[in-house]
Structure 1
Amino acid sequence: MSLLPLDGPASPLPRAGDRRPPLPALPALPARRTRRTLALLPLLLLGVWAAVDWHAVRDGAARLAAADPWWLLAGLLFTALGWVAAACVRQGAIPDRLPPGLLLASQIAAGAANHVLPASIGAHAVTVRFLRRQGVTLPRATASIALYSLVRALAKTPLLLFFLLAAPTAVRPAALLPDRQTLLLAAAGLLLAPAAAAVALTVVRPLRRPALDFVRTALTDARQLHTRPARFVPLWGGAIAAPLLQASVVASVGKALELPVSWPQLVFAFLAASTAAGAVPAPGGIGPVDAALVFALAGYGAPLPLATATVIGYRVLTVWLPLLPGMLVLSALVQREAL
């Protein structure tokens, strides 16, 4: 009796030595399209941002057109040096050695992303993605972000005290604080965040192991980094230099517009304003820091229109002019799969 199936002859059994060509691989069109979409997304966000805040860009450019161009060029130089300082802190916050060129490019891209999302979420997200592409584990990458944020906050305290002594006629720091409602919201957020984290760890058991890995990695890396001068020197040096460079941009714009305020007063005004308004989560600190900075400059006796023009010029140099190259670098890193 024949055992052949009724619908046709049986296919011959493969013999030893037969080599069948492999099936052709399907092109990775979805992944390629996704990568191209992500590469174009920063440019789309740039267009939306410009459309929403076009008046500030136009007014700032008009004010700066009559300013001293050499001081404005110095402000641009301080802005670029800020990327270098951020890259130093990022490298100092992680034991792994990172490629300097790509690290600097990632911080240029992170600076652009930082002006899109509040509370430095955009910059940290870009950095974590960059570290993961460099082979850094997720617990170590997130631990480096925590150490970066902690060191940046701690390094600003001695700077504030020093410039407070250098500029004793400063406006009262308490006057730079946001209103009571904003402070209550910020305090509630600070109190509820640890409580929410504790409840989440208690209820969701799968989160416990990653949280413990994060804490263990953070403590181990922090102790190890502070035994290596090649890490803690750029970590703390960059953290001290970063706010000074940002304050120097404000001072350069003030000098370009002939603001009747001394350089130490301008630096302290920025440090105090950025610290007092730092509890309010805004993209790049835009909004609360600007209002506090205008108030601080006016407290030094600067005319209000000139103080406002100084803040607008500072935003043009630190946000608008670097935003386009930052978005282009971000798109290029996405296209190269470095992010």
Structure 2
Amino acid sequence: MEPIRFAVIGTSMISENFIETLASNKEALYLGSMGLSLKESQAATETCGGMRPFADLEDIASCPEVDAVYIATPNAIHYGQALTLADAGKHVLVEKPLSSDAAKVRHLIELARERGVIALEAMRPVHDPGTQKIKELLPRIGRVRRATLRYGKYSSRYDDVLAGRHTNIFDTRMATGALMDLGIYCVESMVALFGEPEDITCAAVMISRADNELTGGAIDGMGNIVAHYGDKVVNLAYSKVSQDLLGNQIEGELGTITFDHVDAPTNGRLHLRGKAVRNAAKATAQSIGDTDEEIVFEPCDNNMVYELEHFISCVKGEIDAVRYQDISLVSLKIMDEARKQAGIVFPSDGRA
């Protein structure tokens, strides 16, 4: 089979990271990029070793050489661009989020299926073998009762907000904010590990009110989501206005799994509880015969390689894209509800 020929929309660092993965995959070929102008498209294509810059979306949609498109543009335009390209018969791999809300995700996936192409979200932890390894270890810790997944880092763009300057990273018109940018990693990892919860409760810390023109309305800087599963709860913590130094933890009745980065696990431990003992208020052991094992994760400098591999396998019909599309759809349903509870409204809400 001939390599799948990719066009790339976007010229940011994340686009360059993806193009690196294309160069390392024999089943993929990078054709060229589309930027904000033809000059930017030409510069990015030349820098990244491409062959053909693209002037605009229609240029890509009508190009017979393009088989697939990687979209790394602002959140608010993911849907429109992906829909146009899928309708033109192009496979699309879209940076997270696949769209700004669940209704648009559902419509995009349905149209792609009608056109016989794949629409997939580029969500790194869902495709990372580290997440799969954690899932495979869950039976060893018994019935899971609680999990905590976290992703928080201070954004330099928050400095712009504090200084009264506009930034796309905190703008309802761009479908951004802490939940859409970082919280989504926690949400999708949760869905990949445990499936869809029965319901959720969201408590968000807002950095602007509904009447703030700079941010286009109320928008979040950090938040917590508690997902209820009946037999367990999952706590999600995310922030773009503080630095979270804690790790992730999954607690079962027989043991506990801990690991570092939710977007790309690199270090982890499996703690198995021994025999429980009574100790009341004394500072003595709670159990005897505990064991600890290191969880060995496959080292990878750029774990975008995994989402590319799975995308290509879906295009070739080797694996069913539904397994990944369902995670995206359920996750956006959860985030729609979280935004509703927090009072975060995007101008495009409800228009698929």
- TM-score under structure 2 normalisation? 0.22
Q: Which has the higher helix share?
A: 1
Query: Bigger relative contact order, structure 1 or 2, given CA contacts below 8 A and separation 6+?
Result: 1
Q: Which has the higher strand share?
A: 2
- TM-score under structure 1 normalisation? 0.23
